[in-house]
Structure 1
Amino acid sequence: MIDLHLIGIGTGNPDHLTRAAIAAMNAADLILLPRKGDAKSDLIDLRRTICADVLSGATRVVEFDLPDRDPAAPYLRAVDQWHDAIAVAWKDEIARHLPNGGRLALLVWGDPSLYDSTLRIADRLRADGSAMTMKVEPGITSLQALTAAHAIPLNTVGAPVVITTGRRLRAGGWPANADTIAVMLDGDCAFQTLDPPGISIWWGAYLGMAHQALIAGSLDDVAAEIIQTRAALRKRHGWIMDIYLLRRATGWSAVSTGPVSLGL
């Protein structure tokens, strides 16, 4: 029997860890850390740092190479095949390092519930007949880190918030019946497809990290600045994780801050 613990570790700052997360890490027999290639070495380095900071017992830490997603295949098919391959990689590491069962922990950026597929990949193992229990320790999401960094509320009074992706924003435009949109996984700055008058944006990259960057203002005023800053940061670090909030004018307006702590 494998007792799988999925632990939300926030957005890169070790201070984001809850006491429950630290306890779960120390209770594990094994923590698996995925490597994603040289271009994202900061991500594995952060996980290593977190483990070094909080582990005080006999928990083993093992790194493994994460399979690549096929960029040539249609998106949904590519993601499905990628998740299958990751599940196989997990299964191989479990067989190698926990052949007699035990407590396995996986560290998840942000929280496992929000635009992360770790839970779905774990379900593949259970559907495959693997004897497994599963528990989740929630973490600070990039959305929480964004609103905290800008010191703004997520919603307007009594109004809904839509959480979506850049892909869907580009394909479908502004969602109906929403005055606030949180946009994740946007590699192409899909806000460029919107009619900007009356829209405010709060953008953040590398939230919680030393090179955190923030820009806010009316979309008319700061869209080009965000695009240029994002490109410069991606070139410097080889990768970027960013998120932004869009809001139509309802009496709450953004104050332009310009980029903060760019690390350039």
Structure 2
Amino acid sequence: MRKIHVIGIGAGDPDQLTLQAVRALRSTDVFFLLDKGEMKADLTRLRRQMLDTHLPEGTYRLVEARDPDRDRSAGGAAYSPAVGDWRSARAGIYERLIAEELGEGETGAFLVWGDPALYDSTLGILEEVLRRGTVDFEYDVVPGISSVSALVARHRTGLNRVARPVQITTGRRLSEGFPEGVDDVVVMLDAHQVFRRFADQDIDIYWGAYIGTPDEVLASGPIAEAAPRIERLRAEARERKGWIMDTYLLRRNPQDR
């Protein structure tokens, strides 16, 4: 039986790998890596750096494939079908890699940014591959330090307040309005800086980009004061690297609902 490790590798810092993750790395025969193109070559480099940090040089095999492009222009009702098409295309690649590059009795691994259970598609894609029935394998999941955990740690704050819920959502959902009954909201995948819409409210923002990497950028404060600084930092970072991954926590004064 082939085996797959889905390993959460943290937000970018090799020191964020857990002991469980390191043990999984050392029991792996083949590492599968999806290349996102030259613009995001840093992501491949960081993965290689993690492997070189925790494994003896030349002791592991790395198999790379090109990550399929996703239609990021799709919106509204077309958004979910576009994501579904992209995931199915990825499933086809995973299926081929496992069938052709992983021998019977061998162990392969996918290295997942942050935590595999939080805004990542790897687990769902592996389940789709198994449903296709062309290749058989078992898999396990190693949790990792998410960008959310790393964000609040870097800002020296908590994710929630006493007896209060916290919600994790996307910029797309936040654009529909601040969630009802929640005052602490973590926002991921916000390409349009939706937080600017709440500058007239008593809300603090804790923002970070490239968290856990040498390019990490942080900013915090009341939205009205911090938003212009975040916009500038974000624009400069995107211009410099060609891409950006950022996450933020919004903390609202309950009296300002």
Alignment TM-score > 0.5, same fold: yes
CA contact (8 A) 1:173 1:193 kept: no
Contact 2:71/2:82 (8 A) holds in 1: yes
1:168 pairs, out of 144, 156, 173, with: 173
> Are positions 1:216 and 2:217 aligned together?
no
**C-alpha distance in structure 2 between counterparts of 1:98 and 1:198, whole Å:** 54
Q: How far 1:64 sits from its partner (Å)? A: 1.4
Aligned equivalents of 2:194 and 2:144: distance in 1? 27
Equivalents in 2 of 1:99, 1:148: separation in Å? 41
Q: Give 1:67's aligned residue.
A: 68
Q: Which SS does the other structure have where 2:144 is aligned? A: coil
> 2:21 aligns to what?
21
1:196 and 1:102, CA in 2 relative to 1: closer, same or farther beyond 3 A?
farther
Task: Render the CA deviation track for 1:120-155: whole Å, top value 9, x for unaligned.
Answer: 111101111232211111100001000000000111
> In the TM superposition, what is the alpha-carbon distance from 1:70 to its structure 2 partner?
2.2
Determine if contact 1:27/1:59 at 8 Å carries over to the other structure: no
* Residues 33, 61 of structure 1: 8 Å contact kept: yes
Q: Aligned with 2:161: secondary structure?
A: coil
> Structure 2 matches for 1:85-124, cutoff 5 A?
85-124=89-128
1:6-37 deviations in Å (ceiling 9; x for gaps): 00000110000011111101101111111001
Unaligned 5+ segments in structure 2 are: none
- For residues 86-111 of structure 1, what are the alpha-carbon distances to aligned partners after superposition, in whole Å with 9 as ceiling and x for unaligned? 11111111222124352111000000
- Structure 2 counterpart of 1:254: none
What TM-score do you get using the length of structure 1 for normalisation? 0.91
**Distance in 1 (alpha carbons) for counterparts of 2:214 and 2:60:** 28
Instruction: Provide the secondary structure at the position in 2 that maps to 1:68.
Output: coil
Give, as a single letter, the amino acid of the residue that structure 2 aligns with 1:149: R
- Aligned with residue 190 of structure 1, among 174, 194, 209: 194
Quick check: 1:69–1:79 contact (8 Å CA) kept in 2?
Answer: yes
Q: In the aligned structure 2, how far is the partner of 1:250 from the partner of 1:71? A: 35
Label 1:185 to 1:72 Cα distance change in 2 as closer, same or farther (>3 A).
closer
Residue 202 (structure 1) aligned to one of 190, 199, 206: 206
Residue-pair matches, total = 250
Counterpart of 1:27, as a letter, is S
Write the letter of the residue equivalent to 2:67: L
1:28 touches 1:104 (CA, 8 Å); kept in 2?
yes
Structure 1 residues 220 and 195: CA distance shift in structure 2, 3 A: closer
Distance in structure 1 (CA, Å) of the matches to 2:40 and 2:163:
40
Question: What's 1:137 paired with?
Answer: 142
* Counterpart residue identity of residue 199, structure 1: I
Match of 1:127 in 2: 131
Counterpart for residue 255 of structure 1: none
**How far did 1:72 drift?**
4.3
* Residue identity opposite 2:123 in structure 1: L
Give the C-alpha shift of residue 182 in structure 1. Answer: 0.2
* Residues 1:38 and 2:42 aligned together: no
Distance of 2:73 and 2:117 partners within structure 1: 28
**Aligned-partner Cα distance in 1 for 2:14–2:200:** 37
